[in-house]
Amino acid sequence: MRTLMITIGLIAWQIGWGQTTISGKVSDNKKHPLRGVSISIKDSYDGATTDSLGRFQFTTTEKGSQILVASNIGYKTLEQTILLGGTNSELELVMKEEVSELKAVVITAGTFEASDKKKTTVLSPLDIVTTASGNGDITGALKTLPGAQQVGETEGLFVRGGTAAETKIFIDGTLVNDFFYSSVPGIAQRGRFSPFIFKGTVFSTGGYSALYGQALSSALILESIDLPERSEANIGVSVISLNGGYQHLAKNKKSSWGINYGYTNPYLAFKLYHTVQDYTTYPIYHTGDANFRIKTSKNGIIKYYGYFSQNQLAFRTASVDTPGYKDMFQLKNFNMYHNFSYKENIGKKLKMYAGFSYTNNKDDRNGSLEDQKNEEVILPGLEFKKFGLKLKGDYLNGKLVFEQRLKGLAMLRFGGEYNYSSDRSYYTDYNSQEFDHKINEKLAAGFAESDIYITNDLAAKVGARLEHSSLIDKTNFAPRLSLAYKLGAQSQASVAYGIFYQSPEKQYLPGPVPLGFSKATHYILQYQKVSSLTTFRVEAFYKKYEELLKTVAFYGNQQMLATNNNGYGDAKGFEIFWRDKRSVKGLDYWISYSYLDTKRDYLNFPYAIQPNFAAKHTASLVIKKFVTKWKAGINASYNFATGRPYYYIGYDINSHTYKFDDMGKTPDYNNVSISFNYIPGIGKQNAKAFVVYVLAISNVFGINQIYNYQYSYNGIRKEPVIPSVKTFIYLGAFISFGVDRTQDAINNNL
């Protein structure tokens, strides 16, 4: 009987005392309960998952001193020693958020990013090519974002009251000198590079990183793609172009190479549409590019991208300078661009980025005045209409950046940049007199920048840049600072401050007196709220311009000579961006609005005034929808800008001063564009070819658009600068031969 008692006792012990119940609650350091946390006794099976109130309870047969482990994604794993078998006390566990890139606050003041990766991304790379008003051009799509102006008569990005020259463009870290095709009077030129070669785009409308410089307003930072997804050949045919290419991915997926060739000739299109210009040589472009990419290690890659293009055009337009006569303009351009970049992890925490680029550009421009019979004439007082201008440029850019990872997410970046440029110009006037001009510049820069995470919710980026220009023999020091503070799970506030310098534009160098850098100081305040399907951001800015160039007349009023750095100005305003993929299923749209109040006194301005490239209100609406039934993507966009001022600045020879002889304001700018992408073969298995048809119509409603006004040399007459074609219809087919993976891709969810 005693044995029985003992046995029963033993059983009771086994059941009652053998098991310990552990219960408790898990919260974060703000006392919010944490759900889905895995609780376990180390090296045992016992444990539980917390419920929506952060509570857990489980029993264990483990005894004695054990380690309790709490783990949850995004939190530091918590280990706590507990004594089992004693009293079942309620455990209160507090988990700390892990400092991770996923959760940490990211500095976003002034930047718009288009990439696949980061959560700060506002656009995807695909958005760049599917924005209706973008016409497949990188900067075209960026003009639908707040901060950028709708300037149609000149290429480039005019950001927050800045000129196009105040925006610099970088590919894989290095400066690109001739991003756009050579300027043609009155017609904005496209970017030279296909948007498809880039996987990441960072568009900074102010307060950008110390790694970049020589841009008073804005930096556009482009990152080229790594290895392609697969080997593929492609052909494209459109109303204005033909192109073909081949991309080869090695079997081991460690390297790739590719070549492309394109031919553009708008003969057909220009026969159909009335163009403002009367072309004697249609704009014909030959472009070719080649690339290779070699993966050197898990994180290392060598990339090469080489490009060449040759283009020419010639046209007549009615001359504003003298009624009844015509202006003849001719342009031939050759451009070559090579970019090497190398990225490698050279230590556990040290990364290296090296970039090198070389550009060779040749422009051959000719102008003349023609009579009604299209015969060249030289009229007294208008001799300057006859000219020849050859421009030759060689540009070398090198950059080396090291990125040292410090504690946690903290980071230190430092390095240097070297830009060499050689510009030669050969000007021939009406009586064959030649004027040669040569200018070399060596710009060296050093920079350092650190990302500091004070907490997961508060981050700072502190940087500085030191630059020396050999040409003007001056040095500048530009500090940059930005802060971001996380207000909630989805919202954050950022501020940015920075000083930015830019060398005088080459055409003013060397001046009759020593010239210095122009300077801009940016102050930016931003609030943003980003959920997975919506983005809202509002940004206010103040930009102060100092030491802008001032010019005086030279050769009558035809040439300008920079004489001092006494120009100044400012720009202030606010911008709103809203993107929504949630409200209507399958519909994706964004709205941007910019308010800009800017004045400047620079070049030959008599006093500070709103410059002719700045509109007070600018807005865009971009809509995208993919209709599964039709296998088609429909994109539409509406761009609006209030009128911009225009004026004629006359020179009074007696008083040697400038004055506004005439002034006005253009009508508001409205543009509605639509595009359709039709993909009939989508999902067809074992299809050898994959075709995308594109139909794009710009200015669908044929709204009259006046970009600006052009004055005659003496300011007596003016004429509106309008788009060369009112409504343009683009039709194209792009065929790729490779493995069609749309089937796997679209899969379950569409």
Binding-site ranges for another protein (CB under 8 A): 3-4, 7-8, 10-11, 14, 35-36, 38, 40, 42-49, 51-52, 73, 116, 124-126, 229-230, 532-533, 581-582, 585, 626, 628-629, 631, 682-685, 741-750
Q: Where are the alpha helices (H) located in 313-404, listed in sequence order?
A: none
Q: Among residues 43 and 375, whose Cβ is nearest to another protein?
A: 43
**Nearest alpha-carbon partner for 696 in 136, 234, 267:** 136
Give 699's contacts (C-beta < 8 A, 6+ positions apart). 671, 672, 673, 705, 723, 726, 727, 728
Buried b / exposed e along 37-73 (16+ C-beta atoms within 10 A) = bebbbeeeebbbebeeebebebebebeeebebbbebe
Strands (E), 555-628: 559-580, 587-601, 617-627
3-state secondary structure of 15: helix
Q: Among residues 43 and 473, whose Cβ is nearest to another protein?
A: 43
Q: Among residues 92 and 744, whose Cβ is nearest to another protein?
A: 744
Least CB distance to another protein at residue 137 (A): 20
Give 670's contacts (C-beta < 8 A, 6+ positions apart). 638, 639, 640, 703, 705
Least CB distance to another protein at residue 196 (A): 12
Least CB distance to another protein at residue 382 (A): 55
3-state secondary structure of 709: strand
Least CB distance to another protein at residue 745 (A): 3
Sequential DSSP letters for 380-448: TT-GGGSEEEEEEEEEEEEEEEEEEE-STT-EEEEEEEEEEEEEEEEEE-TT--EEEEEEEEEEEEEEE
Give 166's contacts (C-beta < 8 A, 6+ positions apart). 159, 215, 216, 217, 218, 502, 520
Token duo for residue 666 = 């253009």
Strand partners, 587: 625
Token duo for residue 174 = 């290095």
Q: Among residues 288 and 738, whose Cβ is nearest to another protein?
A: 738
Least CB distance to another protein at residue 202 (A): 17
CB atoms within 10 A of CB 490: 14
Q: Among residues 399 and 579, whose Cβ is nearest to another protein?
A: 579
Strand partners, 204: 111, 219
Q: Among residues 532 and 654, whose Cβ is nearest to another protein?
A: 532
Q: DSSP label at 185?
A: T
Least CB distance to another protein at residue 345 (A): 20
Least CB distance to another protein at residue 418 (A): 36
Give dist(CA 452, CA 455) in Å, integer.
9
Contact 557, 527 (CB under 8 A): no
Least CB distance to another protein at residue 50 (A): 9
Q: Among residues 117 and 659, whose Cβ is nearest to another protein?
A: 117
3-state secondary structure of 679: coil
Give 8's contacts (C-beta < 8 A, 6+ positions apart). none
The three-point CA angle 413-484-345 to 5° equals 25
Least CB distance to another protein at residue 569 (A): 40
Least CB distance to another protein at residue 121 (A): 9
Least CB distance to another protein at residue 187 (A): 33
Least CB distance to another protein at residue 47 (A): 5
Q: Among residues 165 and 225, whose Cβ is nearest to another protein?
A: 225
CA-only gyration radius of the chain, Å:
31
3-state secondary structure of 11: helix
What sign for the dihedral angle of Cα 211, 222, 117, 341?
Answer: negative
Q: Among residues 96 and 117, whose Cβ is nearest to another protein?
A: 117
Q: Among residues 125 and 567, whose Cβ is nearest to another protein?
A: 125
Least CB distance to another protein at residue 127 (A): 9
Q: Among residues 388 and 683, whose Cβ is nearest to another protein?
A: 683
Least CB distance to another protein at residue 145 (A): 18
Least CB distance to another protein at residue 243 (A): 20
Q: Among residues 77 and 559, whose Cβ is nearest to another protein?
A: 77
Give dist(CA 139, CA 564) in Å, integer.
32
| Residue entry with tokens 């192109």 | 243
Contact 125, 201 (CB under 8 A): yes
Q: Among residues 428 and 534, whose Cβ is nearest to another protein?
A: 534
Q: Among residues 406 and 584, whose Cβ is nearest to another protein?
A: 584
Report the side by side order of strands in the sheet with 20-28: 55-60, 20-28, 90-95
**Nearest alpha-carbon partner for 642 in 594, 571, 609, 709:** 594
Q: Among residues 46 and 575, whose Cβ is nearest to another protein?
A: 46
